[in-house]
Structure 1
Amino acid sequence: MDDKTRKAIALKKFSIIGPVLNGQVSNNTEYFRQVASSPIDMPHYGPRSYSYKTLESWLCNYNKHGIEGLVRGYRSDKGKSRKISPELGEEIVNRRKENPRIPITLLYEQLVSEGKIEPKNVSRPTVYRYIEDLSLLGEFKTDDEKSESLRFSHEHVGDLWQGDVMYGPYITIGKKKIQTYLHMFIDDASRYPVYSQFYLSQNFETLRHSFKEAVLRRGIPKLVYTDNGKIYRSQQFEYICASLGCTLLHSQPFVPQGRGKVERMFHTVRMRFLSTLDPSTIIDLDDLNQRYFKWLEDDYKRKSHKGLNGLSPHDVLMSQISKLNLVTDINRINEHFLLRITRKIQPDATTQIQNILYETDSRFSGKRVEIRYEPEWLNDITKELPIYEDGKRVGEAKVVRFHDNAHAMRKFKGNRRKSPQVDATDDSAISTSLEIKNSISYSEMMEGEDNV
């Protein structure tokens, strides 16, 4: 089981205990009993049954250690089946390839009748999981029942945010016309855009920037509801939400009705803002965003909304300001939003990130560790990247300085392995920082106050 799968399992566990953490259930034990009454489709394992006490232990582990407490440890015999021998595994694979449509139950019964499987040693679910792990079993589910669609609205601000991306106007930069994209998170109860901004791309970096600005300004929501876009389903974004303690939900593919409020907001932006805008007068992205921010403050946020009983989004937000889970520790939030990558440290205590060679303490040699960073840190050769193990910071990685290392004292005999010269600049990171340039950055404002 690789790191990505282990994290996927942790996120699945978090999705189950999420309603308890967010206060959506009145009785924890009854909720866990209800969930445990049917199999849970767990990543890597498939449908599995758990006792309600196991689910309660997940909640306990999360309360003690955060999202890291839900990550499974490595098996000593990982990569191997404990009950299926290599010979039996080969027989199962061959039969499955010969007849992909054969039911697993029938395949299992055939192997039992031929004496190749002893039922008391190898159960049918074991064979099922073995085939699924080899990616030889496809899932074909049918649902003839017509889904029910009901209008909904959460009672309090901060209970749920809806997020989406809208195609914006083209703007001229130099001699090129470039498409813009409007990232938005809107509060479900108040229809208040907790943060929205135009960007020059729609990727994970722009999503991460907009969501971080929303959290810093309007607190941490209980639920985040988005579509099934690639950036919203990225494990990095799921881990950010889980680290903050909010549950990430996705709407059904090709069913936009559940995100009606953010879709209606996009319609308002097109009709009341973009329709009055002359794209030829836009100087740059900053100019577009300044006009958009002004329109939000002067028009949308202060305008009465028929879905809010005639109140404005600003009025509803301010009337429930005490309900917001506002940020009190900015450093902690910054840590949650760091990008996470897993790297194996080489025998010479080095590893590469975007073709930049970093070195660590020799005690990490041969280990797989998690490194967290901001993209702009890769442009600063003096910046050390924090190293984490089991969710705890245990060291740093710094850019290799070859000339300094030539005169450094060695703790062991022999020379380090030769490595390519470090490139101190990274064009992709620089371009990313330009794409998410923000004329009003809340995090920078707060840092400025701390320095006064």
Structure 2
Amino acid sequence: MKQIDPKALFRLSVLGPLVSRERLERGELQQVIRELAQREYAIPQSQRRHLGEKTIQAWYYAWRREGINGLEPKIRADRGQSKIAPAIQEAVLAAKRDNPRRSIRQILRLLEVAGIVASQSLSRSAIHRLLHRHGLSQMAGSASLPEEKRSFTAEFAGSIWYGDVMHGPRVPVKGQLRKTYMVSLIDDASRLVAHSAFCLGETALDVQGVLKQALLRRGVPTKIVVDNGAAYRAHTLQGLCARLGIHLIFCRPYAPEGKGKLERWHRTCRDQFLTEIDERHITSLGDLNARLWAWLEQIYHQTAHGGLGGMTPLARYQRDLPRIRSLGAKAAHLDALFHHRVPRFVRKDGTVSYLGRRFEVPYELSGKTVRLVVDPHAERVVGVEDEAGASLGSATELDQLANQHRTRRKPDPDVATGSVRSGPNLVEIALAQYHGTKEQ
């Protein structure tokens, strides 16, 4: 027995209120069809949920003529054939083969500009069917071909670090529970965590604080691979890496596989550290970090890693110590490398503001724009520079009480008025003449 096509059964189910009636009154057919078109359907092999009135009407008359067979999908007689002229077909195929990344829209525009087809005389669907039949419908290149991905490991520790942020537990801060974020830098070859810390944010400042400690503890990496987040795109971080000779590499968006080892570290941290943390015993952010650092040094770095052939991360890292770049002479100036430059306008009283506090700079800078050199982690102003980076002196926090008793410099009256006292002038001559006249 011939099996009924599932689509024919679906169409028959749609027509149920019509075909089940023995007789339809005048005008009732269109009314029922209109009602059926307003319903929602689970249409086979389609994302649509509604049917048009003309479609339902065509199905009804097909059923009246042929019964259930009339509802089966008809195979087009011209299936596999294109109505496009052979010469135009060749032009379409040649345009696609010449540049596989050309879209249908681009091909159509190319043919129209070249005068091969008249404007709007060729449909995009006809081009699509032609390309599909010849196996050319898929756009070639990086947009469609699967990208080759291979697992790899850096040959030496210190070659590649990965940086990322993971959400952490809440901690009490000034009487309120605050969410934390764990910022980490992990070495590719050894899986050693160069440094990791829970922060109250995931800003550029938080990332740079972790990087600073990582550099002091584990040396200078050749590359740091990060995502495209704003914290990593900050000019301050890019400038730091440039000065230290570190290549800052950004992963492609939506390609987390570029940091698989870091994702694996995050999972280890969740499974082995966060599950053991009792948030009721965490009294502060420092308390949480103290536990993290103790776990890292005493457990994680000392545990054999399956991806290291049974070696521990610390042992694998120490094996390459002779190859790892140290800070060297830069260690003494590392704080200065992490200083930020903040532009500020100097008021008439010789002060500038930073983080709600006022600082005094050399009085001669009044009315000028300068750059404050600040330690963002200590929230301290350490100096003043001009736009070229030349030092203009120091900045001290304003003490208004002390200023009441400070001896102020007063401008030289001669300089202030532009007077010249080195010789006679008209006023003096007139005065002398006036006195001479009175004496006579």
1:218 has 2:196 as partner: no
Give the superposition deviation at 1:334. 0.6
| Superposition pairs of residues 256-271 of structure 1, within 5 angstroms | 256-271=256-271
- Aligned residue for 2:300? 300
* Partners of 2:209 and 2:377 within 8 A in 1: no
* Partners of 1:171 and 1:280 within 8 A in 2: no
For residues 165-218 of structure 1, give each alpha carbon's deviation from its aligned partner in whole angstroms, at most 9, with x where no partner exists.
111122345753322221110111111001012223322332221111111111
| Superposition pairs of residues 64-103 of structure 1, within 5 angstroms | none
Q: Which amino acid aligns with 1:358?
A: F
- Aligned residue for 1:208? 208
| Superposition pairs of residues 9-408 of structure 1, within 5 angstroms | 144-146=143-145, 147-172=147-172, 176-329=176-329, 330-345=331-346, 349-361=350-362, 364=365, 368-375=369-376, 378=379, 384-387=382-385, 389-402=387-400, 404=403, 407-408=407-408
Give the superposition deviation at 1:315. 1.0
Question: How many equivalent residue pairs?
Answer: 270
Task: Give ranges in structure 2 of 5+ residues lacking alignment.
Answer: 1-140, 415-440
Q: How many angstroms apart in 1 are the aligned matches of 2:279 and 2:344?
A: 45
Q: CA 1:305 to 1:354, structure 2 compared with 1: closer, same or farther past 3 Å? A: same
What value does the CA root-mean-square deviation take over the aligned residues? 2.9
Q: CA 1:316 to 1:350, structure 2 compared with 1: closer, same or farther past 3 Å? A: same
For residues 60-92 of structure 1, give each alpha carbon's deviation from its aligned partner in whole angstroms, at most 9, with x where no partner exists.
xxxxxxxxxxxxxxxxxxxxxxxxxxxxxxxxx
Give the superposition deviation at 1:337. 0.6
* Partners of 1:388 and 1:395 within 8 A in 2: no
Which range is displaced more, 327-336 or 261-270?
Answer: 327-336
Q: How many angstroms apart in 1 are the aligned matches of 2:382 and 2:283?
A: 37
Q: Which amino acid aligns with 2:244?
A: L
Q: How many angstroms apart in 1 are the aligned matches of 2:242 and 2:337?
A: 9
Q: CA 1:262 to 1:349, structure 2 compared with 1: closer, same or farther past 3 Å? A: same
Q: How many angstroms apart in 2 are the aligned matches of 1:195 and 1:374?
A: 20
Give the superposition deviation at 1:233. 1.0
Q: How many angstroms apart in 1 are the aligned matches of 2:283 and 2:368?
A: 50
Q: How many angstroms apart in 2 are the aligned matches of 1:377 and 1:312?
A: 35
Q: How many angstroms apart in 2 are the aligned matches of 1:221 and 1:291?
A: 26
For residues 16-64 of structure 1, give each alpha carbon's deviation from its aligned partner in whole angstroms, at most 9, with x where no partner exists.
xxxxxxxxxxxxxxxxxxxxxxxxxxxxxxxxxxxxxxxxxxxxxxxxx
Q: How many angstroms apart in 1 are the aligned matches of 2:177 and 2:361?
A: 44
Q: Between the two proteins, what is the percent identity of the paired residues?
A: 30
Give the superposition deviation at 1:336. 0.2
* Partners of 1:302 and 1:313 within 8 A in 2: yes
Q: How many angstroms apart in 1 are the aligned matches of 2:305 and 2:377?
A: 41
Q: Of the two structures, which has the highest relative contact order with CA contacts closer than 8 Å and spacing of 6 or more?
A: 1
* TM-score, normalised with respect to structure 2: 0.55
SS of 2:394's equivalent?
Answer: strand
* TM-score, normalised with respect to structure 1: 0.53
SS of 1:249's equivalent?
Answer: strand
- Aligned residue for 2:99? none
Q: CA 1:361 to 1:290, structure 2 compared with 1: closer, same or farther past 3 Å? A: closer
Q: How many angstroms apart in 1 are the aligned matches of 2:373 and 2:143?
A: 45
* Partners of 1:384 and 1:399 within 8 A in 2: no
Q: How many angstroms apart in 2 are the aligned matches of 1:412 and 1:233?
A: 51
Q: How many angstroms apart in 2 are the aligned matches of 1:260 and 1:391?
A: 41
Task: Give ranges in structure 1 of 5+ residues lacking alignment.
Answer: 1-141, 415-452
Q: CA 1:274 to 1:328, structure 2 compared with 1: closer, same or farther past 3 Å? A: same
Which range is displaced more, 291-300 or 183-192?
Answer: 291-300
